[in-house]
Amino acid sequence: MERNNTLRVMELFAGVGGFRVGLEKANPSFFEVVWANQWEPSRKAQDAFECYARNFTDGEHVNEDIAEIPDEVFQQVAPQLVVGGFPCQDYSVARSLSGEKGIQGKKGVLFWQIERVINRTHPKYVLLENVDRLLKSPSKQRGRDFAVMLATFNNLGYTVEWRVINAAEYGFSQRRRRVFIFAYKNGIAFEEEQLNHDLKDIVFKEGFFAKPFPVLEEPYKNREDYEQIEVDRVEISDNFSFGFHNAGIMRNGKIYTSHVQPVEVKPKPLSKILLDDIEVDEKFYLTKAMEEKFEYLRGAKKIERTSATGHKYFFSEGGMSPTDNLDKPGRTMLTSEGSVNRSTHIVEVNGRKRFLTPIECERLNGFPDNWTAGMTDRMRYFCMGNALVVGLIEIMGRRIEEIDALNTSSSEEEEIQLGLSF
């Protein structure tokens, strides 16, 4: 039996294509992105989609509200891997008006569209990315939203691993912390191989994340817990509260979660992604007035304020360095990058202070130079603030290719055995 040398990929909430860039860096001949969707409902201009379509020519690119796309479209695409980043939203659910066990999720929650895609197509693998606060939301019922997601995958017949990864701790140039969620279909060869390991060993040594992103052998301060997930997501929504740690696995409804510590790789410093002075446009340098404004914004302060009810209180903020240290990786880039904002990176080169340029922001996330060229600088910053570190996806892509080879080997063995049986 010849190996199927490609994996059909569907990219949801694609943005400017970070998942695809990473997967194609891993192996462009193996990962075939056949369908991608990007839609920004609150904007007339679809800058991210136009960027995606400009940089990728293969596959179908769809600029429509995913909720309006019929099930039949997903079924025709027949993805083997579904990837995407999606907003952290309120995952509260409720019984239908008739009291049936079917649920009605809050309208607009994009994870329900991911559920719909998986339920209609049954891909072998699902790889998602989100902000790490997903594990703790909502604040009044910690862990409920993530538990609803895990129950959803469990009910669909998937095992799930997750890991919060700080890109700088594995050698990259940005201290960007995100939770990655990898689900794989029960019954495939990788799942059967993982059944040989207990849940803790999977998280620390044998799992999807543990192999390419190694961690120390024991949990941080013995922080580890087990839990059983409910099948009924309404019950979870009403009553569930649990402290998920930064790594874990859910298999057949049983959860193991632990606070893991990375085996760190020396990060790439900010200085390595900077353009030469001669390439930096004068518009990115700070005026004297802007320098003074940033000194105030980044300085320590204690300000008396009055609440809407008339209550007086003090707002306090600690100080931070006037400029970002070029010998360290960059801080987490936000969508407000490039604005007069405390979180904006300010670098000092040859005695002059300036913003990072859009190209430098692309480099912080591992995109090729000028990936977002063609839109305004403000939108280029915004898109990079929303993007992921593509080098992490490249590593995960290589891991997916590795575990998919297990399925190929298993299929070949079955075919040989069937041939001998005649």
- Residue at 403 is within a domain: yes
175 & 244 share domain: yes
For 286, the 3-state DSSP assignment is coil
* Rounded distance between C-alpha atoms, residue 162 and residue 184, angstroms: 12
54 & 129 share domain: yes
pLDDT at 411 (0 to 100): 55
Sequence-ordered alpha helix ranges (H) in 245-357 = 288-298
The β-bridge relationship of strands 254-258 and 224-228 is antiparallel
78-82, 88-92, 287-291, 354-358, range with the lowest pLDDT: 88-92
Give the residue-averaged pLDDT of 80-87.
94
Residue 143's CATH number: 3.40.50.150
Give the pLDDT band of residue 408 (cuts 50, 70, 90).
low
Tokens describing residue 146: 């993530």
Tokens describing residue 283: 């518009």
Answer yes or no: is pLDDT of 88 > 90.
Answer: no
CA distances from 279 to 143, 283, 288, 348 (A): 47, 12, 22, 15
Q: Is the peptide bond before 138 cis (omega within 30 degrees of 0)?
A: yes
Answer yes or no: is pLDDT of 412 > 80.
Answer: no
**Helix %, strand %, coil % of the chain (to 5):** 35, 25, 40
Question: Is 377 or 420 the better-scoring residue by pLDDT?
Answer: 377
Q: What are phi and psi of 284, to 5 degrees?
A: -90, -5
- Residue at 400 is within a domain: yes
- Residue at 421 is within a domain: no
281 & 192 share domain: no
pLDDT at 93 (0 to 100): 78
* Nearest one of 165, 95, 92, 175 to 130, comparing CA atoms: 165
Yes or no: say if 330 and 175 are a contact pair by the CB < 8 Å rule: yes
DSSP label of 373: B
107 & 246 share domain: yes
Question: Is 65 or 88 the better-scoring residue by pLDDT?
Answer: 65
Give the pLDDT band of residue 361 (cuts 50, 70, 90).
very high
240 & 105 share domain: yes
153 & 27 share domain: yes
247 & 285 share domain: no
* Rounded distance between C-alpha atoms, residue 9 and residue 82, angstroms: 6
Yes or no: say if 388 and 365 are a contact pair by the CB < 8 Å rule: yes
188 & 122 share domain: yes
Residue 298's CATH number: 3.90.120.10
Q: What are phi and psi of 235, to 5 degrees?
A: -60, -40
Give the pLDDT band of residue 409 (cuts 50, 70, 90).
low
141 & 89 share domain: yes
62 & 209 share domain: yes
pLDDT at 252 (0 to 100): 97
How much is the mean pLDDT over the chain?
92
163-172, 230-239, 374-383, range with the lowest pLDDT: 230-239
Give the residue-averaged pLDDT of 322-329.
97
Whole-model pTM: value is 0.93
Give the pLDDT band of residue 149 (cuts 50, 70, 90).
very high
CA 52 to chain centre: 18
Answer yes or no: is pLDDT of 101 > 70.
Answer: no
232 & 286 share domain: no
Active site residues: 88
Tokens describing residue 150: 């895990």
186 & 232 share domain: yes
pLDDT at 4 (0 to 100): 55
Q: What is the pLDDT of residues 362-372, one digit of tens each?
A: 999 999 999 99
Q: Indicate if the alpha-carbon torsion angle 383, 121, 410, 163 is positive or negative.
A: positive
pLDDT at 372 (0 to 100): 98
Per-residue HEC secondary structure of 50-80 comes to HHHHHHCCCCEEECCCHHHCCHHHHHHHCCC
Domain total in the chain: 2
Give the residue-averaged pLDDT of 310-322.
89
